[in-house]
Amino acid sequence: MNQTPTHTPGRFSRILSQSRNMARWLWQSGLFFLLAMVILFGGMWIIYQGTTVPVLLVVDGQPFSFRTRQTTVDSFLQELGFQVEQFDVVIPARDARLAGGETISIQRSRPFVVEADGELTRLHSHAERAGTLLYEAGVDVGAYDVLLVDGQAASLDTLIGGPAAIPEKKGTDAFTGRLSSRIPPRATSVRLTVRRAVPLYIHDGALQGQIYTTAATVGEALLDQGIVLYLGDQVSPNLGRRVSAGLHVYVRRSMPVEILVDNRRIRTRTQAGTVGELLTQVGIALIGKDRVEPSETTSIEEDASIRITRVREEITEEEELIPFETVWEPDSGLEIDQQRLHQPGEAGLTKRRFRIQYENDQEVARLLEDEWLDREPQTKIINYGTHIVARQLETQAGVVEYWRKVRVLATSYTAATSGKEPDHPEYGITYLGWQMHSGIVAVDPTVIGLRSHMYVPGYGQGVAGDTGGAIKGRRVDLGYDEDNLVLWYKWVDVYLLTPAPARDEIRWVLPNWPREK
């Protein structure tokens, strides 16, 4: 029979107590170890610091603090890895001993290149101004010479020395490996260029004399002297000629002129002797009868004004229509008021040839050279009918016979509307002297003869016995008594009753106005 082991409470408590004692021992042991290491390294640091001395290193005026165990300046600089060049100044001397608390000052030299008189001189110097460096290089600068420092204009007092400016850093640093990040780099080379001035003789009208210039070419030398050149000026030798000592430069000035041509105003300068030479110079040609004022042989003067007039001629033809005539011819084969075109009309044509002269595109003259009749006008012939045919018309009052029917605009009137006051001596009296009454019709006598009898549908029979200022052409005014007035304003056919008047009293062709709308 298996038996299950049992644990008593006392045994479990012992095991738990032993575990706690072990943890406490481990914790105390680790803390002791860490404390021991801190004490060890701290002691070593104190021992190390106790064996070093402080040194202040000043490089080109910038201070840096260090501690070192080296005993000489040279060994200290070697420890730092600091490269001392031949012309650098080290104070104290490099073999001086270090006792601690010293200041080591290093003033580094700067490389220079001096270009003068075609030679390059390379040197190291502590000079702070350009004049001092040139003195060290044995180079003189004359009053008209030009000095350039790195390509920029400078003077003898221009500052050229000293290191590049950096922020000052102070403090103690025992790790020499950080030296390169703290000390500024050595200054770069500076180039000084001396351009020698040479004498040049200028001949420019009233300006005559000697100048000194450092320019490379004649053009640059004139520009430096503020001598302005204009279009057309001539310079000898040319502007690109290299300057040499004693060179004579001649400036031949052009004259300002103005040319008016082709609606343009050209302002230029010239050395031409005559107007003709000037026009050739600017490429303006005279063509045909063109004129120039003053003439081509005139000498050019300053501020001269030359005017060119462009002259041209052209031949042109003009046409003029000749209106044709219209002739009316009677035709007994046609009934009255009928027409027939016998011959159409055609306008004639006259032609003229002109010679026209233009100056600056404006017509100034027109000459008639020829004129002729190119086509005769053709008369228009219209036949009108003269054959009278009597016809009958059935009316409410019976049959009437008429010889002509005329389309007219009919209006109406009475004595009171005729324009005269009742007390007027001619009140109610018609053109023929008749007393106004119904049945009298006012007409245009050139269309319907006075005393003609007529029939008007809707009005009845009437007789042409009056006229009126407004009754013209195809217009009639139907007369009424005061008590039976009917207002008219319409187009109607008027039938002229037989017998027809004598043929010489008939107007065969009636006017077309007014026209029926």
Q: What is the pLDDT of residue 15?
A: 56
Q: What is the pLDDT of residue 495?
A: 98
Ordered mean pLDDT values, 10 residues apiece, the chain (517 residues)? 46 61 62 61 53 87 89 89 86 88 88 90 89 90 91 91 46 44 76 92 89 91 90 90 92 93 93 92 93 94 94 94 96 96 96 95 94 96 96 94 98 93 93 96 97 97 96 97 95 97 95 90
**Residues whose CB falls within 8 Å of the CB of residue 482, separated by 6 or more in sequence, listed in order:** 414, 415, 416
Strand 453-456 and strand 489-497: the pairing is: antiparallel
492 burial level (CB within 10 Å; 0-12, 13-18, 19+): middle
Q: What is the pLDDT of residue 441?
A: 98
Q: Which amino acid is located at 509 in the chain?
A: V
Tokens of 479: 């007369």
Work out the number of other CB atoms within 10 angstroms of the CB of residue 465.
22
Q: What is the pLDDT of residue 359?
A: 93
Find the farthest-apart pair of alpha carbons in the chain and give their distance in angstroms, rounded: 182
Q: What is the pLDDT of residue 409?
A: 98
Q: What is the pLDDT of residue 1?
A: 41
Residue 125's alpha-carbon distances to 63, 94, 438, in angstroms, are 22, 20, 144
Q: What is the pLDDT of residue 169?
A: 41
Supply φ then ψ for residue 52, to 5 degrees.
Answer: -105, 160
